[in-house]
């Protein structure tokens, strides 16, 4: 007969006090202590990856905290002078101050500067409200400052290596395109499509078209493919012409609702071919072109 093991007392409380932000796997910070501290006594995290804080969203969070309290504790560390420094949870800390709370729940950890940076970066990467460039910069900092490889970073943050690579590639985009991503004027899919153009000038021109015409990601990808194929047919010295031709063909296709094939020569001249499916369709095309 097997011997029944008695349950370990206090295990439930221990589980409740586990910090949900702890995905780093560092032994030095695996046993945080719960405490209630004055939010005004917590210094902001100098390693904070987030740079944009929506004031309206903070006000909404402050209102929620006033009514319900803080559901998820912030994470802090003790520094040399005995004061506290934020590791993660700056939105909650800011909202708590707006709500004029005098104490907030916090996990207190022992962590050095590098561990604090890593915890802050990993915690923020796993949030859903960061813009793509903030995430990309966080990955880059983990590589540059923590010396993580993409493989080890993939395990640490629970993301596929290909996903990490796609984010890092966004940092090669022109600053104006990155700015549009940060303002959420375009999606990451748009950004990845625009990366198909190597010249920064071309990226900016394509960005303008995307914004002006409200192009979908698929339409943006098609425009990039068309640009690249057209560019091959026109000599290097005629770059500007190729872009004008591309935009003209794109406008014609949208206006006529048909595919148009471009044939060009090195001197900049050329022809276009418009397809039709039947005599009736041809007559319809004629009326479109003549405005009948």
Round to whole Å and give the CA distance between 246 and 254. Answer: 12
For 208, other C-beta atoms within 10 Å of its C-beta total 11
- Which residue is listed with tokens 């425009």? 223
- Count of Cβ atoms closer than 10 Å to residue 153 Cβ: 20
Q: 80-94, 175-189, 215-229, 241-255: which range is least confident on average?
A: 241-255
Taking only the tens place, the pLDDT of each residue in 78-110 is: 877 778 888 888 888 989 999 999 999 998 887
pLDDT for res 79: 78
The CA distances from residue 84 to 35, 47, 97, in Å, are 11, 14, 16
Whole-structure pTM value: 0.53
Bigger pLDDT: 63 vs 126: 63
Burial (CB < 10 A; 0-12, 13-18, 19+), residue 261, is exposed
Average pLDDT over residues 61-87: 84
| Residues annotated as part of the active site | 90
Helices (H), 99-187: 113-125, 132-144, 150-157, 161-169, 175-182
Q: Which of 13-22, 141-150, 160-169, 273-282 has the lowest mean pLDDT?
A: 13-22
* Reported confidence tier of residue 24, pLDDT bands at 50, 70, 90: very low
* Mean pLDDT for the stretch of residues 5-33: 40
CA atoms lying within 13 Å on the CB side of residue 127: 19
Classify residue 147 by burial, with Cβ atoms within 10 Å: 0-12, 13-18, 19+. Answer: exposed
Q: What is the average pLDDT across 216-230?
A: 86
Q: Is the pLDDT of residue 2 over 50?
A: no
């Amino acid at each position: 007969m097997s011997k029944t093991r008695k349950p370990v007392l206090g295990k439930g409380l221990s589980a409740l006090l586990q910090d949900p932000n702890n995905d780093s796997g560092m032994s030095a910070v695996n046993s945080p202590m719960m405490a209630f501290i004055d939010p005004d006594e917590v210094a902001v995290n100098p390693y904070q990856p987030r740079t944009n804080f929506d004031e309206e969203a903070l006000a909404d969070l402050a209102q929620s905290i006033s009514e319900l309290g803080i559901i998820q504790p912030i994470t802090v560390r003790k520094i040399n002078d005995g004061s506290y420094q934020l590791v993660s949870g700056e939105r909650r800390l800011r909202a708590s101050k707006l709500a004029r709370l005098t104490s907030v729940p916090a996990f207190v950890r022992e962590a050095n500067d590098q561990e604090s940076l890593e915890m802050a970066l990993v915690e923020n990467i796993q949030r859903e409200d960061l813009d793509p460039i903030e995430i990309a910069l966080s990955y880059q900092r983990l590589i540059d400052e923590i010396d993580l490889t993409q493989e080890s970073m993939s395990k640490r943050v629970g993301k596929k290596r290909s996903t990490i690579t796609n984010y890092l590639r966004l940092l090669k985009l022109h600053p104006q395109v990155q700015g549009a991503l940060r303002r959420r004027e375009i999606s990451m899919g748009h950004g990845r499509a625009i990366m198909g153009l190597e010249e920064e000038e071309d990226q900016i021109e394509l960005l303008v078209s995307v914004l002006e015409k409200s192009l979908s990601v698929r339409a943006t990808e098609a425009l990039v493919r068309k640009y690249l194929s057209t560019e091959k047919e026109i000599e290097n010295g005629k770059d500007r012409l190729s872009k004008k031709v591309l935009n003209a063909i794109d406008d014609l296709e949208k206006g006529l609702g048909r595919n148009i094939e471009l044939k060009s020569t090195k001197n900049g001249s050329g022809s276009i071919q418009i397809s039709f499916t039947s005599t009736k369709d041809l007559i319809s095309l004629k009326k479109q072109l003549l405005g009948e």
